[in-house]
A = this chain, B = another copy of it.
Amino acid sequence: MSISHIEHIGIAVKNLEESIRFYEDKLGLECYSIEEVADQKVRTAFFMVGQTKVELLESTDPEGPIGKYIEKKGEGVHHIAFAVDNIDESLKGLEEKGVRLIDQAPRKGAEGLDIAFLHPKSTHGVLMELCQDKKK
């Protein structure tokens, strides 16, 4: 498994517009895209910070993953996504090494990337995502 960089950091927020204002007006970052991911029941806003994106996540449904996360833990960092060169092989290798996967096979995430989550019980507490841009 070869990780090239941190593709994005996913941050759960209660109100996307208020949070975008904070990242733009206070931190001086620029939101370049807002996208709804119906499958995940979220609206997302993206900011480029060097090589890595900040992905703000607002729930569109209290029963969705971000809705439940905010209900339980409040706003904050939800997951870290690593860019890998081959997501299928990476998942296979991790499973062979005993890492618990949430997604056994990749699925489509925001920005058309192939993504899969690892279980935080297997990663010392961090919800980790693998991403591969198969269009590249």
Contact = CB atoms under 8 A, between A and B. Distances in A.
Given A51-B51, A76-B120, A80-B9, A94 B26 contact: yes
Given A51-B51, A80-B9, A3 B27 contact: yes
A6 B8 CA distance: 10
A36 interface: no
Interface in A42-96: 49-52, 73-77, 80, 82-83, 94
Q: Which among A12, A25, A27, A51 has the highest number of chain B CB atoms within 10 Å? A: A27
A18 interface: yes
A124 B19 CA distance: 7
A84 to B, nearest CB: 9
Nearest to A28: B1
Q: Which among A2, A77, A80, A97 has the highest number of chain B CB atoms within 10 Å? A: A77
A1 B27 contact: yes
Interface of A: 1-6, 9, 11-14, 18-19, 22, 25-29, 49-52, 73-77, 80, 82-83, 94, 97, 99, 120, 123-126
A22 B2 CA distance: 14
A126 B26 contact: no
A20 to B, nearest CB: 10
19 contacts: A3-B27, A3-B28, A3-B29, A3-B49, A5-B50, A5-B51, A6-B6, A6-B49, A9-B9, A9-B80, A11-B125, A11-B126, A13-B125, A22-B123, A26-B97, A51-B52, A73-B73, A75-B124, A77-B80
